[in-house]
């Protein structure tokens, strides 16, 4: 394959969510695997709703996920290109002015439905004479512009859905330009795909009908259409779609909740594919698992709680080298032995801070039976302590007191950590060390 050029094209009107991430990752990882280019295109032709704050947050999210774009373009910088393309379509008679109001269109639609006809635009505006138009404009009407569809079956070979066809005679001519001269999404997207030499349009299946229309626009502008891949959309366990507007599972929120980018990426890419959803440790491995022909056509249902499981599994396997800097940033870098001791107990990396505090102190010990604590202290092994110390010590405590099992271990854990759960004490004890251990066993916070 020649090097693909792909784009992720969000409108910066809200924070992106895990469903948008699926689109972004499929594009970015496909480009990465094939040595291609990943473009971030801000679809910000709706100037009123688009905000710089959201554009910034989308860039931050992509960087956090490990897929910074190679190129960034903004549609709001490219109106000249769209005007030129609209001019060409007008000159070719493919873009024509219409003057109906919403109410008029609604009335016609109802009448068609009542007569059992499909509610598609009747192209009345094509019959207007120059005089009619002049009169309407004198009345203060401004035209919106529709693209005249050819009544053909548009076909394409979709990388996900296989051979697709849409009968364009069953569609209304789409409006490409509004009364106020602003563009709807349809035309600018095609103009940019041509101008940026996009080879693959990878996007959600909600765009399948747009694709048929856009293929006709590519042709009308004298360009070859790119290859299309329409993947299934994510839906929640209760069957709901995700909404940027409602702030569903925003990437920002998941980041703030302490989830690993790889947990989010693994779920977003693998759910609804032939691959089992599992934690994949890096993006190159995840990229190798992408196979468009194995993405299911049914909506991809995912369970939010799955993210925590994936996260925990990633942390449990995370080598110290990968965790070190982040532990340091949390003030919880207690060395490799510490990380190896606690990682199996963590769901989120930041929870390591709690165990660093347990090791370092101060810990308020919980002691119910002072005599038992004293007896245990009396047989504490000599320093230096290592991985064998806990076993040697508890054997000695058992021999001295006759106590065993949980009745032996739990009071020691409570005294040493102040908690009734946590990582193996065999690993924690040498990290706590003899001085703090003695103090805690005597009931002092240390």
Instruction: Check residue 9 for interaction with ligand GLU (CB under 6 A).
Output: yes
- The whole-angstrom separation of Cα 269 and Cα 265 is 6
Q: Which helix (H) or strand (E) holds 95?
A: strand 95-98
- The reply to whether 69 sits near ligand GLU by the rule CB under 6 A is no
| Residue 319: strand, helix, or coil | coil
Q: How far is the CB of 91 from ligand GLU (least distance, A)?
A: 25
Under the binding rule (CB under 6 A), the answer on residue 249 touching ligand GLU is no
Report d(CA 271, CA 278) in Å as an integer: 9
Q: Which is nearer to ligand GLU, 9 or 349 (CB)?
A: 9
Given the complex with ligand GLU, which of 23 and 259 has the nearer CB atom?
23
Report the DSSP pairing between strands 37-42 and 5-8. Answer: parallel
Q: Give the nearest distance from C-beta 230 to ligand GLU in angstroms.
A: 10
- Give the per-residue contact string, 193-222, with ligand GLU (x = CB under 6 A; - = no): ----------x---x---------------
Number of residues that bind ligand GLU (CB under 6 A): 8
Pairing mode of beta strands 144-147, 37-42: unpaired
Q: Which of residues 10, 261, 272, 411 is near ligand GLU by CB under 6 A?
A: 10
Which residues are CB-contacts of 47 (< 8 A; sequence separation ≥ 6)? 76, 182
Strand 153-158 versus strand 162-167 pairing type: antiparallel
Does residue 185 belong to the site contacting ligand GLU (CB under 6 A)?
yes
Distance CA 34, CA 2 (A): 8
For ligand GLU, the closer CB: 9 or 160: 9
Q: What is the CA radius of gyration of the chain?
A: 31
Q: Three-state SS for 155?
A: strand
In the complex with ligand GLU, which residue's Cβ is closer, 11 or 273?
11
Report the nearest approach of ligand GLU to the CB of residue 23 (Å).
7
189 near ligand GLU, judged by CB under 6 A: yes
Kindly write down the DSSP assignment for every residue of 102-147, as one continuous string.
HHHHHHHHHHHHHTT-------GGGG--HHHHHHHHHTT---EEEE
- Say if residues 381 and 359 touch (Cβ distance below 8 Å): no
Binding of residue 27 to ligand GLU (CB under 6 A): no
Please state the closest distance from residue 261 (CB atom) to ligand GLU, in A.
Answer: 21
**Shortest spacing between CB 10 and ligand GLU, in angstroms:** 5
- Comparing CA positions, the residue from 307, 348, 281 lying closest to residue 18 is 307
**Window 37-66: residues binding ligand GLU (CB under 6 A):** 43
Q: How far is the CB of 112 from ligand GLU (least distance, A)?
A: 28
Find the part of the chain contacting ligand GLU (CB under 6 A) among 6-14, 109-117, 320-328, 418-426: 6-14
300 near ligand GLU, rule: CB under 6 A: no
Q: Write down the least CB distance from residue 215 to ligand GLU, Å.
A: 13
For the stretch 325-331, contacts whose Cβ atoms lie closer than 8 Å and that sit 24 or more positions apart, written own/partner, are 327/352, 327/356, 330/356, 331/356
Question: For binding to ligand GLU (CB under 6 A), which residues are involved?
Answer: 9-11, 43, 185, 189, 203, 207
């Amino acid at each position: 394959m020649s090097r693909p050029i792909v784009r992720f094209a969000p409108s910066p009107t809200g924070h992106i969510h895990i469903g948008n991430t699926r689109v972004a990752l499929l594009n970015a990882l496909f480009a990465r695997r094939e040595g291609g280019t990943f473009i971030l295109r801000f679809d910000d032709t709706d100037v009123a709703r688009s905000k710089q704050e959201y554009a910034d947050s989308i860039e931050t999210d992509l960087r956090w996920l490990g897929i910074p774009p190679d190129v960034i373009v903004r549609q709001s910088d490219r109106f000249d290109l769209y005007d030129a393309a609209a001019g060409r379509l007008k000159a070719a008679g493919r873009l024509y002015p219409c003057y109906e109001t919403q109410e008029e269109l609604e009335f016609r639609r109802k009448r068609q439905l009542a007569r059992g006809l499909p509610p598609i635009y009747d192209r009345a505006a094509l019959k207007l004479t120059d005089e009619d138009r002049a009169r309407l404009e004198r009345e203060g009407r401004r035209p919106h512009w529709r693209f005249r569809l050819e009544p053909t079956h548009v076909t394409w070979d979709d990388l996900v859905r296989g051979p697709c066809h849409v009968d364009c005679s069953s569609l209304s001519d789409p409006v490409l330009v509004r009364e106020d001269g602003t563009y709807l999404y349809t035309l600018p997207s095609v103009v940019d795909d041509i101008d940026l030499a996009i080879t693959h349009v990878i996007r959600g299946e909600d765009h399948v009908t747009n694709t048929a229309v856009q293929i006709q626009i590519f042709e009308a502008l004298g360009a070859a259409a790119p290859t299309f891949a329409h993947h299934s959309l994510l839906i929640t366990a209760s069957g709901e779609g995700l909404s940027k507007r409602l702030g569903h599972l925003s990437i920002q929120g998941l980041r703030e909740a302490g989830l690993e980018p790889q947990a989010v990426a693994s779920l977003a890419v693998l759910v609804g594919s032939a691959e089992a959803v599992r934690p994949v440790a890096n993006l190159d491995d995840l990229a190798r698992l992408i196979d468009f022909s194995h993405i299911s056509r049914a909506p991809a249902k995912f369970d939010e709680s799955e993210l925590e499981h994936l996260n925990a599994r990633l942390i449990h396997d995370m080598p110290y080298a990968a965790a070190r800097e982040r532990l340091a940033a949390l003030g919880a870098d207690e060395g490799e032995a510490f990380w190896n001791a606690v990682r199996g107990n963590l769901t989120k990396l930041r929870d390591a801070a709690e165990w660093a505090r347990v090791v370092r102190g101060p810990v308020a010990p919980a002691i119910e039976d002072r005599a038992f604590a004293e007896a245990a202290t009396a047989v504490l092994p000599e320093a230096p302590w290592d991985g064998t110390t806990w076993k040697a010590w508890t054997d000695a405590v058992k021999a001295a007191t006759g106590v065993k099992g949980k009745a032996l271990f739990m009071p020691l854990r409570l005294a040493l950590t102040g908690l009734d759960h946590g990582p193996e004490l065999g690993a924690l004890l040498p990290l706590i060390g003899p001085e703090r251990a003695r103090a805690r066993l005597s009931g002092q916070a240390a």
